[in-house]
Amino acid sequence: MADQTPRAIDPPRLLAAEPQLFVADIRKSCTFFTGKLGFAVAFLYGDPPFYGQVHRDGARLNLRHVDTPVVDAARRDREELLSAAITVAAADDIERLFLEFRGKAVTFHQDLRREPWGARTFIVTDPDGNLILFAGPADQVATAKEPTMQDERRIAAHYAHGDLEQTILEALRAAGKDPERLQPADLSPVDEFHIGGRRATADFAAELGLQPGMHLLDIGCGIGGPSRYFAGEQDCTVTGIDLSEEYVAVAAALSRRVGLEGRTSYRQASALALPFAAGTFDGAYMLHVGMNIADKARLFAEARRVLRPGAIFGIYDVLRESADDFAYPVPWSAEPATNFIADAATYRGALAAAGFAIVKERRRREFAIEFFRQLRERMAESGPSPLGLQIVMGATAPQKVANMAALLDRGVIAPTELICRASG
């Protein structure tokens, strides 16, 4: 007799999910996905098409024509209402994909970041405003050189103020300035956050050999002092990026007050993941920024990527000159965890590896020592001005300045200019 025992039947298996994106123009959407994101068209249906599908590897997106938007745009952007989520297999794939898309001038709703649970994500905006999330798994092993989002949050927190714009406006009034009738130079006591202030900026600019009309990138722009100098005095257009959202907002507000909003712009971003297409800028510079960035190789590689061949890249950073003990706090760091100061040899090696040739190097230790000597004399004669860097450095400003001056005197640090050319 045949065996009548019922055979176990496997449950249905789900093979894949295919998100559906609502778009106004199927062909235009396909052009975006194939030209910008590396997808291929699987099929189109209708003439003109009202339905279609694009795919890349195992990811498939269905496209459906609609005459009017299905989702309120303001609410979608505010609440990050995703239309699709796509994952990659390996941790390093997500960064490579982000760089690939950025090189094609894709619009990002969110730049590459590390989530609290370890995954790394970014969000792309398509021509219809659909938000598409790309995600990669957490790194298996975190490397000592790769800063985490926590590192960058700590650095941003070091510079946080909370009411910076209003405090500056009040200080301007106390110093006898009218906030409604400002010139860029009126702001220089507070917006030139580096050794030597505006004099150092002018000296640095003279070394760069800029031409009117250049488009420059200010890496670590702070509240915008150097960018306004290059825009107003050098007749350049300047885009600034900074980790601090507050600094970026204040930079824009101050530029509006001095009439330079048309030649300066600012956005919050990481210097290690610049949100610009390759070859965007005629030149770039950074003033007292590298001390907060551990991965110099990646910093300079990103700078080289967004510069045109032969472009100028200027650095004015504080470099370490000896291994003697370090004193905290200093203006850029209150603890060793956020102090990534390096020596000149480290800079030279990382710049060469990134494709830069150093055309000039100038050590400015004596200039800095004299700057602090004159600062002490002014303080002794007339006391602190209401408008000064103590506004951005906070209550510990006197200790920060004293520690930095002592490190200079002991030969532990020295501000140094490096003027470079991009290869090509």
Q: Kindly report the CATH number assigned to the domain that includes residue 28.
A: 3.10.180.10
- What's the token pair of residue 398? 């006197």
Percent of the chain with pLDDT over 90: 76
Spacing of C-alpha 132 from chain mean position: 22
What is the helix (H) or strand (E) element at residue 162, kind and residue range? Answer: none
Q: Where is the domain boundary, 72, 104, 139?
A: 139
Query: By C-alpha distance, which of 411, 391, 393 is closest to 174?
Result: 391
Residue 233 lies in a domain: yes
Q: Who's near 316: CB < 8 A, 6+ residues apart?
A: 194, 200, 204, 285, 286, 287, 288, 364, 415, 416, 417
Rounded to 10°, the helix 245-257/164-174 angle is 40
Residue 258 lies in a domain: yes
Q: Who's near 10: CB < 8 A, 6+ residues apart?
A: none
Domain that holds residue 182: 153-422
Residue 411 lies in a domain: yes
For the cut 80, the answer to whether the pLDDT of residue 190 exceeds it is: yes
Q: What is the DSSP letter of 138?
A: P
Q: Where is the domain boundary, 79, 104, 139?
A: 139
| Residues 140, 89 contacting (CB under 8 angstroms) | no
Same domain, 376 and 255: yes
Query: Which pLDDT value is given to residue 2?
Result: 55
* Residue-wise pLDDT tens digits, 146-163: 445 667 888 988 899 889
Residue 25 lies in a domain: yes
Query: Which pLDDT value is given to residue 139?
Result: 61
SS3 38: coil
Same domain, 87 and 37: yes
Same domain, 275 and 165: yes
Q: How far apart are CA 62 and CA 253, in angstroms?
A: 43
More confident: 139 or 14 = 14
Whether a cis peptide bond, with omega within 30° of 0, leads into 48 is: yes
Same domain, 157 and 303: yes
Query: Which pLDDT value is given to residue 148?
Result: 52
Query: By C-alpha distance, which of 71, 175, 90 is closest to 130?
Result: 71
Same domain, 226 and 286: yes
Same domain, 275 and 385: yes
Query: Which pLDDT value is given to residue 143?
Result: 42
Q: Kindly report the CATH number assigned to the domain that includes residue 380.
A: 3.40.50.150
Domain count, the chain: 2
Q: How far apart are CA 290 and CA 251, in angstroms?
A: 20
Same domain, 135 and 157: no
- What's the token pair of residue 326? 């370090």
More confident: 385 or 139 = 385
Q: Who's near 197: CB < 8 A, 6+ residues apart?
A: 188, 189, 371
Q: How far apart are CA 347 and CA 60, in angstroms?
A: 44
Residue 144 lies in a domain: no
Same domain, 88 and 185: no
Same domain, 293 and 343: yes
Same domain, 75 and 162: no
Q: How far apart are CA 95 and CA 273, in angstroms?
A: 9
Whether a cis peptide bond, with omega within 30° of 0, leads into 329 is: yes
pTM over 0.75: no
Residue 12 lies in a domain: no
Q: Who's near 372: CB < 8 A, 6+ residues apart?
A: 401, 404, 405, 408
Q: Where is the domain boundary, 117, 139, 161?
A: 139
C-alpha pair distances (Å), 187 with each of 180, 198, 201, 244, 265: 13, 10, 13, 19, 17
Q: How much is the average pLDDT of 132-140?
A: 82
- What's the token pair of residue 267? 């956005």
Q: How far apart are CA 99 and CA 173, in angstroms?
A: 45
From 32-36, 115-119, 123-127, 152-156, the region with the lowest mean pLDDT: 115-119
Same domain, 178 and 305: yes
Query: Which pLDDT value is given to residue 116?
Result: 73
For the cut 70, the answer to whether the pLDDT of residue 164 exceeds it is: yes
* Residue-wise pLDDT tens digits, 371-381: 999 999 998 88
Query: Which pLDDT value is given to residue 78?
Result: 85
From 53-67, 277-291, 338-352, 375-389, the region with the lowest mean pLDDT: 375-389
For the cut 80, the answer to whether the pLDDT of residue 140 exceeds it is: no
Query: Which pLDDT value is given to residue 91?
Result: 78
Q: What is the DSSP letter of 4?
A: -
Q: What is the DSSP letter of 257?
A: H
Query: Which pLDDT value is given to residue 144?
Result: 39
* Residue 199 main-chain phi, psi, to 5 deg: -60, -45
Residue 28 lies in a domain: yes
Residue 145 lies in a domain: no
| Residues 193, 223 contacting (CB under 8 angstroms) | yes
